[in-house]
Amino acid sequence: MSLLTVRDLRVVIDGLHILHGVELDVAATGVTALLGRNGAGKTTTVRAVMGLVPRTGTVTFDGADITGLPTHQVVRRGIGYAPEDRGVFAQLSVAENLRLAERDPDPAYDLVFELFPELKQRHRQAAGTLSGGQQQMVAIARTLLNGNRLVIADEPTKGLAPKIVTEVADVLARAAESVPVLLVEQNLALVRRIAGRCAVLADGRTAHQGDARALLADEDAARRLLGVGSHQPETTAPEGSSR
Amino acid sequence: MSTVVLLACTGLGLGALYFLVASGLSLIFGLMDVLNFAHGALLSVGAYAAWWAATDGGTGFWLAVVFGTVVGTAASVLLELALIRPLYVRPRDQILATVGVGLALPALLMGVWGSDARPFPQPAALSGTVGLLGATVPVNRFVLMAAALAVLVALRLFLARTRYGLIVRAGVEDRAMVTALGIDVRRAFTLVFAIGGAAASLGGALAGLYFGSVNPSQGTGLLIFAFVVVVMGGMGSVTGAAVASVGVGLVQQFANYYTAAGLGDLSVVVLLAVLLLVKPRGLTGRLA
């Protein structure tokens, strides 16, 4: 039984058809990876799920149709969202960024500061002066403060130093033990490490859904769907944004 | 010397008036990307409501100011709920709607009370003058300065200390992300309109005191300079608006006195042009 089900999701922005019918099933446990080449529509898909872009089709979350809901109500159903650009408020302090995300009466600051002790030290620092990795920590921390039923992380390791990538991956893997995660990711080594199931988008459609490791082990399928040989994900992965 | 002091006090009083209009204008634009051309009309609504209360209503001056502020605030909230909110997805129509209200409200006031300036009853305590460094300065200048200062302090406390203040500051940076944290940002929109309307209509009531009379086009005339102040101070920055208000008020008064009358208004526009050439993002460096 899927936690989040997307059927025939279509998005048109300024007359351009970005998504032509995306199908996506996010498992009720573990990490589900959303893969695809740059421009395949991964970020648009999650933005459409969040209600941040106009969309048609059906999005079902935990049995309820959430397609028509405005963004804040989608979030209040229990979806934490860490966007591609991190969505950190640069002028606000770290503490204010976290306080803004509080929805539960008893936010899980213990968990957040255990995972990211740095954020406690930098409580008063303006978030705009943090490093990219630290900003990503703020973005992920905001999703873990509340008792969410799903966390959506859009390319959380993009542009980060390899050491920080490992740190972020560890946190996501740990978070995924208690809350299901939908992970948009280009770093296939990371996907192989923490993802269970995966969906692959190509040209605004779903090209494949199945087990993540099985796909990455199948060199032909990986090359055809992702444009990379799975044994060398870093060197041939195309650069740039994936909007 | 006494002339300089008098000009400075008058300029600061005028700057205070600009700030009362510009602070709300700046917050509304910073948070919602709405250019509220009806903001000057809200000032006129506050001015006429206060004038009506003080004359026909027969209340005292302070009660009239409160009444004017309440009516202006209500008008502002009504404007947001009825006209601005349904048009968020159509920003161009939204601007046209505020332009329309900005023209219609003064016309309505003119229709009811005529286009002539109506004398605003001055309370005895505020109609006198005080001696300051050899100059004789009307008390109402200081009333305006005190009101603007109080509004500035209150706004800064609201922005820094309250949850809605936090939402407004975050919304000025990235409105969509605020909603993506589960916050209904539209409530903050209505609140910001209420705050802006309150400040502008307070300004309207006190403008009656400052100018000695109210007329239907007062608000629209002040709005132009308030826009200059907002651009100078940086969109969405209350403190920037305060600094720019003082600058504009002073430059206008001194230029009007020491050069030809009318050049003060022109010099303000020149000041804006120079500032934008040197610092394209305004005084605070923010282009929210």
Total of domains in chain A: 1
Contacts of A148 in chain B (CB under 8 A): none
Is the model's pLDDT at A231 over the cut of 60?
no
Q: Using the 8-state DSSP alphabet, how is residue A238 labeled? A: P
B-chain residue closest to A101, CA distance: B181
Q: What is the ipTM of this complex?
A: 0.87
pLDDT value of position B35: 87
Which ranges in B180-234 belong to alpha helices (H)?
185-211, 218-233
Please give the average per-residue pLDDT across B50-60, as a whole number.
86
A54 close to B (CB below 8 A): no
Residue with tokens 């941040």: A52
Which CATH architecture does the domain made up of B2-278 adopt?
Orthogonal Bundle (1.10)
Terminus-to-terminus CA distance in chain A, angstroms? 29
> For residue A55, what are the contacts with CB-CB under 8 A and spacing of at least 6?
A9, A10, A11, A19, A48, A67
B182 close to A (CB below 8 A): yes
Range of lowest pLDDT (A21-30, A144-153, B122-131, B136-145): B122-131
- 3-state SS, residue B123: coil
Q: How far away is chain B from the Cα of A175, in angstroms, using its nearest Cα? A: 18
A150 part of a folded domain:
yes
- Whole-angstrom Cα distance, residue B186 to residue B236? 17
List pLDDT tens digits, range B90-120: 888 888 999 999 999 999 998 999 888 888 8
- Domain membership of residue A177 as a residue range: 2-236
Task: Say yes or no for a CB contact (<8 Å) between A71 and B179.
Answer: yes
Q: How confident is the model at residue B283 (pLDDT cuts 50, 70, 90)?
A: low
A188 part of a folded domain:
yes
Q: How far away is chain A from the Cα of B188, in angstroms, using its nearest Cα? A: 13
CA of A155: how far to CAs of A10, B72, B220, in Å? 21, 47, 49
Instruction: Work out whether the CA dihedral B42, B43, B46, B49 comes out positive or negative.
Output: negative
List pLDDT tens digits, range B156-174: 999 999 999 999 889 888 8
Q: How confident is the model at residue A229 (pLDDT cuts 50, 70, 90)?
A: low
CA of B111: how far to CAs of A15, A122, A234, B49, in Å? 46, 60, 73, 15
Contact A179/A148 with Cβ under 8 angstroms?
Answer: yes
Residue B98, token pair as written in the block: 């505020």
Domain range list for chain B: 2-278
Contacts of A48 in chain B (CB under 8 A): none
CATH number reported for the structural domain that contains residue A125 in this entry: 3.40.50.300
Q: Are strands A181-184 and A150-154 parallel, antiparallel or unpaired?
A: parallel
Contact A88/A139 with Cβ under 8 angstroms?
Answer: yes
List pLDDT tens digits, range A145-175: 998 999 999 999 998 988 889 989 999 999 9
- Whole-angstrom Cα distance, residue B103 to residue A196? 62
